Amino acid sequence: MKISEKTRKRIFEIIQIGNKEDAPSRAFDYFIVTVILCNISVLFLETFDKLEAWRPFFETVEIVTVLIFCVEYLLRIWTADLLYPGEKRGKAILHFLFSFDGVVDLLTILPFFFLSGFGAFRILRAARILHLFRINTRYDSFQVITSVVKEKRSAILYAVFIILVLILAASLCMYSVEHAAQPEAFKNALSGIWWSVSTVFTVGYGDIYPVTLLGRIMGVIITFLGVGAVAIPTGILSAGFVEHYSRLQRSTETEEYKKNTGALLIDASSAYVSRTIREVEEMDHIVVTALIRGGMAVLPEDQIRVRAGDILINMRL
């Protein structure tokens, strides 16, 4: 049975990120979120030996949820040309398959069928959790993060460059100082890189550490430098988020102001004629922000009386 184009378009609207006005689409979003949580919960619960008796149930839940993912994935491929209307069907499908959502969907499904024995691949199903953040808002979480990283990419690259230089310098210096005292620990510069990375990022695994006096002094210095170096990109991103949300707040306030602000031309029959600004504000619950009279702006003081021909710039409360 051939499905009509209208039905296919409706299916596409439902499986995409829904909006508050479209009840089926919102219901599908909640359903998929529930399936994702069930799939990930089972993934975690399967690791507990005490729950071995529940394993058949967990496997059933996993099979059902993966089948649902498969159906959703096929539906998204089927409607890919509606997602990318400017492209031909084949190209649109390829575009979706290699998009972020397409790759995440594929990694959700493939490990179950082909890589069930590899925990590192099976855990990729947890990538489905990323879709929980695709909320139907004007600025979602990933869009904010992406925009901030793009805005600050130059500063972040400079910070990363500084960290790399510090790591290389620390590695070479520590190798030069410690190689003679402990040649097995600091065999070459690569061993020094491992130590410098764990020190610069303040992890300090303790598997390699300096034993000479000069090496320990250098270790203290490098640790302090590492704290400062790692804090640089953190500060850059934090400042970026503050700037982004400040712009967003100002934009929201501006839109709200525009929406609630209007201009009113007073004619001779208006009820506002001969009333004071204060009386006008109390009548209609507005705030008169400006008064244009005879082509000139007049300060809208409370006792000024409105005349025919005046223009009131007002903001509704």
Q: Specify the higher pLDDT residue, 19 or 296.
A: 296
Q: Please indicate whether residue 130 or residue 304 has the higher confidence score (pLDDT).
A: 304
Q: What distance in Å separates the CA atoms of residue 276 and residue 262, rounded to the nearest whole number?
A: 19
Which H/E stretch holds residue 6? helix 5-15
Q: Rounded to whole angstroms, how far apart are CA atoms 41 and 129?
A: 11
Which of 27-36, 105-114, 237-246 is the most confident on average? 27-36
Annotate 88-109 with b (16+ C-beta within 10 A) or e (fewer).
eeeebbeebbeeeebebbbbbb
Distance CA 79, CA 13 (A): 10
Rounded Cα–Cα distance for residues 148 and 137 (Å): 17
Cα 231-232-238 angle, rounded to 5 deg: 85
CB 178 within 8 A of CB 215: yes
Confidence of residue 137 (pLDDT cuts 50, 70, 90): very low
Q: How far apart are CA 197 and CA 164, in angstroms?
A: 9
Categorize the per-residue pLDDT at 138 as very low, low, confident or very high, splitting at 50, 70 and 90. Answer: very low
Give the per-residue pLDDT at 211: 86
CATH code, 5-136 = 1.20.120
pLDDT at residue 255 above 80?
Answer: no
According to the model, what pLDDT value does residue 10 have? 87
Q: How far apart are CA 65 and CA 35, in angstroms?
A: 6
**Most confident range, picked from 56-70, 220-234, 257-271:** 56-70
- Smallest CA-to-CA distance from 223 within 207, 194, 200, 204 is with 200
Q: Where are the domains of the chain?
A: 5-136, 151-256, 266-316
pLDDT given at position 57? 92
Question: How is residue 307 written in tokens?
Answer: 């005349």
pTM: 0.54
DSSP code for 304: P
Which residues, listed in sequence order, are joined to residue 261 by a DSSP beta bridge?
315
- Considering only the top CATH level, what class is 266-316? alpha beta
pLDDT above 50 for 280: yes
pLDDT at 139 over 50: no
Mean pLDDT over the full length of the chain: 79
Nearest to 139, CA basis, from 21, 251, 23, 13: 251
Whole-number pLDDT of residue 209? 79
**Token pair for 220:** 């203290």
Q: Does domain 151-256 have CATH number 3.60.40.10?
A: no
